[in-house]
Chain A
Amino acid sequence: MQNNFPNEGMSVIVKTITRFTVWLIFLYGLYIVIHGHLSPGGGFAGGVIVALSYVHLTLAYGKNFVLDRINKFAMNSLEAIAAILIVLTGIVGLWLVGRFLANFLGIGTLYTLLSAGYIPILNIFICVKVGMGLYLVFYYLASFKPQEG
């Protein structure tokens, strides 16, 4: 993809290294989320790492480069949708089992990826919510300019 803002951000060395590392950070975040019910980690920790990969990109390439590729409105909406889905998961539990946030899926085989009922699903929603939320906080703080005088 073409970089429309080649003069922003840090030096060529940092940008080149970032091209290699940002995917690793992003994938590591996803790994933490998807294995959240099997190993240490989970939606929140994974979400923070996903947000950090965006932060990494912003630091190296400047914020306009990132904004060229992702939509702030979409990020805001995704965050709200994830929050609504978390609440809806709780309501589905209330509806099917009779208790708020009760597990309504099978438990599955222990130590396999598809286990632990609804926990992996909640982890994914939480990852989206935390990741988008944290990056937006970073973005708004970065774009804040104090008034002169």
Chain B
Amino acid sequence: MILSQFIFVPLLAAFLIVLFARKKENVAAIIALAACAWILIVAVIGFLKLPAHGGLILENTSGWKIPYTIALVLDNLSSFMLIVVSLIGFLSAFYSVQYLNHFNGKWNFFALFMLMMTGMNGVILTGDFFNLFVFMEISLYSAYALVAFGTESEELEAAFKYALMGAITSTMILFGIGILYSYTSTLTMADVGLQLSHSGTPKLLFLVYGLFIAGFGLKTALVPFHAWLPDAHPSAPAPISAMLSGVLIKTLGVYAIVRIFFNVFGAPTVVLQILMLLAILSIVIGGFLSIVQWDFKRLLGFSSISQIGYVVLGFALGTPLGILGGILHLFYHAIFKSLLFMDSGAVEYATDTRDLRQLGGLSKEMKVTSSTTMVGTLSIAGIPPFNGFFSKLIIIIACIQAGRVVLGIIAALVSIVTLAYFLKVQKHAFYGKKGSAKVLEKVPLAMKAVMIVLAALCLLSSLIMIPPIREKYISPIVDTVRGKTSYIQNIEPYFDTGSIK
């Protein structure tokens, strides 16, 4: 299993598009789709093969061994994340092919899209702090450019805001990495964890915790670091909104937080409590701010803040059930939020507006969009048997089991708020009185196909909850997150012992 292909295939695709597909836009789409399909297939193979390798595949790059080189690490958690990213990436790329008919410069879009995939795959696979920072910047910079892709003043403003806030917090992360490096003299995550486990908890480490919570908290869009998201998500083209909300905030934010705080720092209680507080704030504030929105995509953006709060809450509980809920909600949210963003894209494509006050009565003219939005609504609101029900239920039960009854009740109540603002979308966009906006154009087949696939996944992914499947595929991931030192112990045999003195 060659792990570096997750990084060099999309990277190569990005530059091949720049080189060959500048005049031929279909070639750009074909190269991007082929690279995405490749990654998806390899990610699935990796996930299935992993148990045979003892749950860990490690690849040293260049000629040395860790800690003298950068290692790529595929364990249960990263392999799961790779599948989520490549699945949503492939579907978004497929959706973009026809969605971009209204834009100029398809090749630009696909080249940036592939760079974003490179960055995210890199963040997921890397076992090195500085490498994590570099890949994070690669995907962030492509995300800035993609948010500004329409080059309207509003989009440029959103991208500028995102870039500014992203740059400040990236500096914080770099600063934190610098402090860690000066203290431990190593950048390999497992080695940092190993050295810290010998030296106890120096006071310096709390500064690093703070810097990382602020840094990765902004990438996750947790309240109070959320200000960029409601601007950036509506401004980006719909497939990019789906990518940003579906996987980017989860990879750069949630995954990085889980990997660093759980596997390297051993889940310190103080951090878990802070994360719990930020998560519950996000759930409540994101939920209530969504209700008052009239822009379809802006509403979805605030909803993302609320839902990512659920994911972080699950992880921050630190119990096996909570982590299971967090992992499942992360996967399910990627599916239904991408679906909803693509639905909003289809509405915008057809009617040229996303203002809910102008829309209305679209259910007769846009049957596929209307019914897939209904599926997305039922999933996100947590109506059984759709996937969102199971993950939210697990998180709420985990809260009560961990003795945080108040948090559980708040999470359950905001779930009703979620239903409320999505019923608002249903009433004002698809049912109710006919609005002033007319259907100008039919939604192309490829866009419809992707929405139907995602809607089907909303139902099918509930099957993960069947106990034998859950035991086989999801429990190892929970163990990886929970086993605070198992990540370090698994990597320790790969360390260089004495070839460099």
Contacts and interface: CB of A to CB of B under 8 A. Distances in A.
Interface of A: 76-77, 79-81, 83-84, 87-88, 90-91, 93-94, 97, 99-103
Interface stretch (B15-23, B37-45, B46-54, B456-464): B15-23
B440 interface: no
Contacts of A80: 15-16, 18-19
Contacts of B12: 84, 87-88
Contact of B63 (A76, A79, A84, A102): A102
Contacts of B60: 99
Contacts, number: 46
Nearest to B63: A102
A39 to B, nearest CB: 22
Given A97-B63, A100-B62, A103-B63, A90 B19 contact: no
B353 interface: no
Given A80-B19, A100-B59, 12 more contacts: A80-B15, A80-B16, A83-B11, A83-B15, A94-B2, A94-B4, A99-B59, A99-B63, A100-B2, A100-B8, A102-B62, A103-B63
A115 to B, nearest CB: 15
B121 to A, nearest CB: 13
B489 interface: no
Interface string B56-74: 0001111100000000000
A41 B210 CA distance: 35
A100 B131 CA distance: 15
Given A99-B63, A100-B62, A103-B62, A84 B4 contact: no
25 contacts: A76-B18, A77-B19, A79-B18, A80-B15, A80-B18, A83-B15, A83-B18, A84-B15, A84-B19, A87-B8, A90-B4, A90-B8, A91-B8, A93-B62, A94-B4, A99-B59, A99-B63, A100-B4, A100-B59, A100-B61, A100-B62, A101-B61, A101-B62, A102-B61, A102-B63
Contacts of A87: 8, 11-12, 15
Closest 3 CB pairs of A and B: A100-B4, A80-B19, A80-B18
Contacts of A101: 61-62
Interface of B: 2, 4, 8, 11-12, 15-16, 18-19, 22, 59-63
Nearest to A78: B19
Chain A at the B interface: SS class = helix
Contacts of B15: 80, 83-84, 87
A133 B201 CA distance: 44
- Output the residue of A77, A84, A103 with the most chain B CB within 10 A: A84
Nearest to B11: A87
A84 B16 contact: yes
Nearest to B69: A99
A95 B479 CA distance: 35
A126 B285 CA distance: 46
A81 B8 contact: no
Contacts of B11: 83, 87
B115 to A, nearest CB: 10
Contacts of A84: 12, 15-16, 19
A45 to B, nearest CB: 18
A134 to B, nearest CB: 15
A76 B17 CA distance: 12
Contacts of A79: 18
A76 to B, nearest CB: 7
A94 B61 CA distance: 9
A79 B111 CA distance: 14
A103 B8 CA distance: 17
Contacts of A93: 62
- Output the residue of A81, A91, A99, A103 with the most chain B CB within 10 A: A99
Given A87-B8, A87-B11, A90-B4, A99 B61 contact: yes
A46 to B, nearest CB: 20
A125 B19 CA distance: 16
Nearest to B17: A80
Nearest to A90: B8
Nearest to B14: A83
Contacts of A90: 4, 8
- Output the residue of B11, B16, B62 with the most chain A CB within 10 A: B62
Contacts of A81: 19
A83 B115 CA distance: 12
Nearest to A83: B15
Contacts of A76: 18, 22
Contacts of B63: 97, 99, 102-103
A109 B75 CA distance: 41
B69 to A, nearest CB: 9
A82 to B, nearest CB: 9
B17 to A, nearest CB: 9
A77 B22 CA distance: 10
A91 B16 CA distance: 15
A76 B11 CA distance: 16
Contacts of B62: 93, 99-103
Contacts of A97: 63
B134 to A, nearest CB: 13
